[in-house]
Amino acid sequence: MSRSSPAQRLASIEPGTRGHIVRVARDHRDRADRLMALGVTPGASIHVLQQFPSVVFMCDQTELAVEPAVADAILVQIE
């Protein structure tokens, strides 16, 4: 995998884009833990589906919906 572009926040990625999760910001208490329990952890593949009204994405084989603030904390390496 060539690191052509830097990691981006999930909240700012165009629908249709695929990539991998690099990091989940730990700045908000138990946000990262709750995301982890849903499978949103570094290394997981991700496919962005929609940004509005909620952010919807496929993480590995799970479809998830999150509010924008949460999507802002997820860093994605685009492929």
Partner 1 sequence: MSCAQVAVRKSATEPLLKLRARPLRLALVGNANVGKSVLFGRLTGQYAVVSNYPGTTVALTLGRALIGAEVCDVTDTPGVNAVEGVLSEDELVTRRILETGETDVVIQVADARNLRRGLMLTSQLAAFKLPMVLVLNMADEARTHGVHIDAAGLAASLGIPVVETVATEGRGVAALKDVLANAAVPNPRGDHAGDHAKWAHDMAVQFRRLQPRSAARVQERLSRMVREPATGLPILALVLYVMYLIVGVFGAQTLVGLIENGLFKQFINPAAAFLVNRFVPWAIVRDFLVGEYGLITMGLTYAIAIVLPVVATFFLVFGFLEDSGYIPRLAIFSDRIFRAMGLNGKAVLPMVLGLGCDTMATMTTRILGTPKERLIAVLLLALGIPCSAQLATIFGILGGISFAALMTLFGVVLAQMFLVGFLAARVLPGERSEFMMELPPIRLPHMRNVVYKTVLRVRWYLGEAVPLFLVGTALLFVLSRLGWLAAMTRGLEPLVQGLLGLPARTTEVFVMGFLRRDYGAAGLFRMARAGDLQPVQAVVALTVMTLFVPCVANFLMMVKEQGWKPALGILGVVTVIAIGTGAALNTVLHVLHVSF
Residues binding partner 1 (CB under 8 A): 28, 30-31, 33-39, 41-44, 49-50, 52-54, 56, 60-67, 69-70
Which of 12, 69 has the CB closer to partner 1? 69
User: Alpha-carbon Rg of the chain, whole angstroms?
Assistant: 11
Q: Which residues neighbour 74 within 8 Å (Cβ) at sequence distance 6 or greater?
A: 9, 10, 11, 21, 24, 25, 35, 40
Which of 12, 42 has the CB closer to partner 1? 42
Nearest approach in angstroms of CB 63 to partner 1 is 4
Which of 5, 38 has the CB closer to partner 1? 38
Nearest C-alpha neighbor of 57 from the set 19, 4, 27: 19
Nearest approach in angstroms of CB 14 to partner 1 is 14
Nearest approach in angstroms of CB 40 to partner 1 is 8
Distance CA(76)–CA(71), nearest Å, equals 10
